[in-house]
Amino acid sequence: MPIPVIADVDTGVDDALALLFLAAHPDIDLRAVTCVAGNASLAQVAQNTLDVLAVAGCEAPVACGVDRPLIEPARDAGSYHGANGIGNLALEPSPRQPEPEHAVELLRREIDASPEPVTLLSLAPLTNIALFLRLYPQTAAKLERIVVMGGTASAGNASAVAEFNVWHDPEAAQIVLTSDVPTTLYPLDVFNRVVATDEQITQLKDAATPHARLAAALLDYQLTLADLPADIASGAKLGDAGAAAFLVASEHFGVETWPVGVELSHGYARGQTVVDRRLRSGEAEEHGLMAPTVRSEVALTVDGPAVAASFINTVCGA
């Protein structure tokens, strides 16, 4: 039976790649998509999402959620994802409109209506999901798990130590990571190591389907941003699409369970995810200076070529 999935997105370039994969994979049942401000404004995210799903031939309901973080103003990533969030590509506007209900209400409705537990895939700042957990804890308890593309156990991208989705709304991330719902973190440590080669992009172009052509155009845009250090795989990053692939190809990842906390203070480290990989507690705990943190699964290693091949094969076969 396909895995029932709801995706929460801030559709930029790699969210678009993830949506193409989710809509195409035979073992994934994309039940709904909820939108939040992040890579672009909420209105732009919703339009991007509908337009990409139209290319994918997917009629999953789409709902708009929150247009800013819980506390701070929205800060987009237009300098990375382009003025329209999807690499300045001009897609045919979808005739569909977002659902009239709020994203949090769509989450509640879809999860309550599902006869089997739903996996919630977060590819965006966690504001919608945090509000859902607070408003509807009994519904949230029915989830299979939450898979979060966010955080880092090493270097950041939005700041030296913080990944964008968590940095955008650290308080929301802390709510999600300390909830009772089983959570798996897909951090930058693996995000940066799943890339498509020039040959794979050519394979997408040769497939000559709307799905594949759009994926190729998005990956061509990703190539213009390739400025990674030498110790990280070079090529066009699949980004959020790797987190989508994790749902059906987890055997290609090394997952460990560690306490994970979020730095909420304002300053240099705001939004940092602290993955505590110590084998024993230290003096900070002994002297009562640190609150206990909740343990989460964290993907720390990946067979990047295998995951990239899964993505290419899925989109080419759509």
Determine the average pLDDT of the residues in 24-31.
Answer: 98
Q: Please tell me the predicted confidence (pLDDT) of residue 230.
A: 42
Report the percent of the chain where pLDDT is more than 70.
Answer: 97
Mean pLDDT, range 262-286, rounded to an integer: 90
pLDDT of 313 strictly over 60 = yes
CATH number of the domain to which 103 belongs: 3.90.245.10
Q: How confident is the model at residue 72 (pLDDT cuts 50, 70, 90)?
A: very high
Q: Is the pLDDT of residue 131 over 60?
A: yes
| Structure tokens, 254 | 């090394």
The pLDDT tens digits of the residues spanning 213-238 come to 999 999 999 988 765 544 455 689 99
Of the pLDDT bands very low, low, confident and very high (cuts 50, 70, 90), residue 75 is: very high
Residues 6+ apart with CB under 8 A from 167: 156, 158, 159, 270, 271
Q: What pLDDT score was predicted for residue 233?
A: 57
Domain that holds residue 238: 3-316
pLDDT of the residue at 284: 81
pLDDT over 80 at 292, yes or no: no
pLDDT of residue 294: 84
The per-residue pLDDT for range 165-215, each reduced to its tens digit, is 999 999 999 999 999 999 999 999 999 999 999 999 999 999 989 999 999
What are the structure tokens assigned to 96, written together? 């569909």
User: Residue range 99-127: average pLDDT?
Assistant: 98
Residue 285 has pLDDT above 80, yes or no: no
Q: What is the pTM of this model?
A: 0.95
When pLDDT is averaged across residues 39-49 and rounded to a whole number, the result is 97
The per-residue pLDDT for 288 is: 80
